[in-house]
A and B are shown apart, each in its own frame.
Chain A
Amino acid sequence: TQLLEQSPQFLSIQEGENLTVYCNSSSVFSSLQWYRQEPGEGPVLLVTVVTGGEVKKLKRLTFQFGDARKDSSLHITAAQPGDTGLYLCAGARSGGSNYKLTFGKGTLLTVNP
Chain B
Amino acid sequence: EAGVAQSPRYKIIEKRQSVAFWCNPISGHATLYWYQQILGQGPKLLIQFQNNGVVDDSQLPKDRFSAERLKGVDSTLKIQPAKLEDSAVYLCASSWVAGNTIYFGEGSWLTVV
Residues of A within 8 A of B (CB): 4, 40-45, 48, 88, 90, 92, 94, 96-106
CA distance A96 to B42 in the complex (A): 24
Interface residues of chain A: helix, strand, loop or mixed (majority): loop
The count of chain B contact residues (Cβ–Cβ below 8 Å) is 24
Q: B40 in the interface, Cβ–Cβ < 8 Å?
A: yes
Interface residues of chain B: helix, strand, loop or mixed (majority): loop
Closest 9 A/B residue pairs (Cβ): A42-B104, A103-B42, A99-B98, A99-B99, A97-B98, A97-B50, A105-B42, A103-B43, A105-B41
A94 touches B91 (CB 8 A): no
CA distance A99 to B48 in the complex (A): 9
Count: A-B pairs, CB below 8 Å: 54
Within 8 Å by CB of A101, from B45, B55, B97, B107, lies: B45
B98 touches A45 (CB 8 A): no
B window 85-99: CB within 8 A of A: 91, 93, 97-99
B45 touches A100 (CB 8 A): yes
Q: B14 in the interface, Cβ–Cβ < 8 Å?
A: no
Chain A residues with CB under 8 A of B102:
45, 101
B42 touches A106 (CB 8 A): yes
Chain B residues with CB under 8 A of A104:
42
Q: B68 in the interface, Cβ–Cβ < 8 Å?
A: no
Min Cβ gap B104→A in Å is 3
